[in-house]
């Protein structure tokens, strides 16, 4: 195969040193993605009626659970990389070398958040909806860590956007030009985030449906991008394992979306304070009216100037009937 006249270069290095301290681009991309995800989720959560500080509390549960899940998925699905004769099993803990499975990260990260939501009386489906676009943006940024590691590239190509991979990172030991699948997925993830933001604003998705839409949309892209990749992967019936995972997650997300829309149309009215005395650390305790910190977006005042007890009121479209609690009456929790 001839070398194309134009191609994308790979970075000459993916780690820098400040004295004895290594600064790895892979880790920086993940950290930046987390920061963006937290910022987007916090803004969306407050718009849904959540309290300042809630997202920060839940993130302290999501990150450790997510990192363990991401690495666990990778190791379980590719055990031969660490446990075959001649392999060093200690490298299971070298997460800076790559090998983080998004499926495990989302699954175990969601488990951590669910535990925290149960503990602090937070509506887990509502929080998942708030977090969905931020997660997709984080994935888009995190994929650039693969660029610096020169990994997860696709089949050889002569297209001008092909990615040059050094011989040290190819199976043949020779440099070549390959499909930049990391870039394809980064762009798809960013598009997924924008699509979910639009759909949520247009259709006011609730009860986990924004998150399910994210899951379904992401897996569509992951399926065809995975097909282009040539890095090591286990296969089942001729398809890469992650292709099967994508199909199963897509099917589950679509079914759950339809069921949720039929059983729980609209959005949640109350997103926090579902359990008495369960205020998350760093969040102002609820006053006698049940409103965290004595205030919530959408709360109304009575003639005495006192805030009503609604934590988050879905006012609905103009001209629609006011929801329970919008007139100052007690909202059933």
Which pLDDT tens digit goes with each residue over 17-66? Answer: 999 999 999 999 999 999 999 999 999 999 999 999 999 999 999 999 99
- Structurally, how many domains does the chain consist of? 2
Query: Is residue 255 within 8 Å of residue 248, measured between CB atoms?
Result: no
Question: Are 211 and 296 found together in one domain?
Answer: no
| DSSP states along 218-277 | HHHHHHHHHHHB-S---EETTEEHHHHHHHHHHHHHHHHHHHHHHHS-S--S--S--STT
Which of 210, 228, 263 is the last residue before a domain boundary?
Answer: 263
Nearest to 273 by CA among 294, 252, 251, 298: 294
In a domain, 275, yes or no: no
Annotated binding-site residues read 143
Question: Are 218 and 328 found together in one domain?
Answer: no
> Exposed/middle/buried for 20, CB within 10 Å: 0-12, 13-18, 19+?
exposed
* Residue 80 or residue 251, greater confidence: 251
Question: Are 118 and 224 found together in one domain?
Answer: yes
In a domain, 248, yes or no: yes
Question: Are 131 and 95 found together in one domain?
Answer: yes
In a domain, 278, yes or no: no
| 213, 216, 222, 225 alpha-carbon torsion, rounded to 10° | -100
Confidence of residue 5 (pLDDT cuts 50, 70, 90): low
Which of 263, 298, 319 is the last residue before a domain boundary?
Answer: 263
pLDDT of residue 284: 57
In a domain, 252, yes or no: yes
Question: Are 53 and 156 found together in one domain?
Answer: yes
In a domain, 112, yes or no: yes
Model's pTM, two decimal places? 0.81
Of all residues in the chain, what percent carry a pLDDT higher than 90?
Answer: 65
Question: Are 134 and 95 found together in one domain?
Answer: yes
In a domain, 216, yes or no: yes
Predicted confidence (pLDDT) at residue 78 exceeds the cutoff of 70: yes
Place of tokens 């985030």: 193
Question: Are 162 and 257 found together in one domain?
Answer: yes
Cα–Cα distance list, 229 to 11, 203, 223 (Å):
20, 35, 11
Of all residues in the chain, what percent carry a pLDDT higher than 70?
Answer: 81
pLDDT of residue 133: 98
Give the domain extent around 46: 15-263
In a domain, 136, yes or no: yes
pLDDT of residue 168: 86
Question: Are 296 and 158 found together in one domain?
Answer: no
Nearest to 42 by CA among 137, 179, 173: 137
Query: Is residue 112 within 8 Å of residue 62, measured between CB atoms?
Result: yes
Question: Are 51 and 197 found together in one domain?
Answer: yes
pLDDT of residue 333: 41
pLDDT of residue 152: 87
pLDDT of residue 91: 86
Q: Which helix (H) or strand (E) holds 16?
A: strand 15-18
Question: Are 203 and 303 found together in one domain?
Answer: no
Predicted confidence (pLDDT) at residue 189 exceeds the cutoff of 80: yes
In a domain, 8, yes or no: no
Distance CA 193, CA 214 (A): 7
Question: Are 325 and 256 found together in one domain?
Answer: no
Query: Is residue 285 within 8 Å of residue 279, measured between CB atoms?
Result: yes
Question: Are 60 and 183 found together in one domain?
Answer: yes
């Amino acid at each position: 195969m001839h070398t194309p006249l134009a191609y994308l270069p790979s970075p000459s290095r993916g780690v820098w040193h400040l004295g004895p301290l290594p600064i790895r681009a892979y880790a920086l991309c993940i950290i930046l993605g987390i920061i963006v995800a937290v910022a987007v989720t916090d803004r969306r959560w407050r718009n849904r009626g959540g309290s300042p500080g809630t997202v920060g509390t839940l993130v302290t549960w999501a990150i450790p659970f997510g990192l363990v899940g991401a690495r666990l998925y990778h190791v379980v699905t590719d055990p031969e990389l660490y446990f075959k004769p001649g392999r060093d099993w200690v490298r299971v803990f070298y997460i800076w070398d790559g090998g983080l499975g998004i499926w495990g990260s989302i699954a175990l990260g969601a488990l951590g958040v669910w535990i925290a939501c149960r503990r602090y009386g937070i509506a887990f489906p509502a929080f998942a909806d708030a977090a969905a676009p931020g997660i997709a943006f984080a994935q888009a940024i995190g994929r650039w860590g693969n660029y610096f590691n020169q990994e997860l590239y696709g089949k050889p190509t002569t297209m001008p956007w092909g990615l040059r991979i050094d011989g040290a990172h190819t199976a043949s030991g020779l440099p070549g030009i390959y499909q930049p699948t990391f870039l394809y997925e980064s762009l798809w993830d960013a598009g997924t985030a924008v699509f979910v933001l639009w759909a949520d604003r247009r259709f006011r998705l609730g009860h986990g449906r924004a998150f399910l839409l994210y899951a379904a949309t992401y897996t569509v892209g992951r399926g065809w991008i995975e097909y282009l990749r040539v890095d090591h992967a286990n296969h089942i019936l001729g398809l890469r394992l992650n292709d099967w995972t994508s199909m199963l997650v897509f099917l589950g997300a679509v079914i759950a979306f339809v069921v949720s829309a039929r059983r729980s149309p609209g959005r949640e009215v109350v997103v926090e304070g579902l359990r008495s005395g369960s205020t998350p650390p760093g969040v102002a305790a609820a006053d006698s009216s049940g409103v965290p910190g004595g205030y919530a977006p959408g709360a109304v005042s009575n003639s005495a100037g006192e805030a009503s007890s609604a934590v988050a009121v879905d006012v609905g479209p103009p001209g629609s009937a006011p929801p329970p609690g919008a007139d100052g009456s007690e909202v059933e929790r």
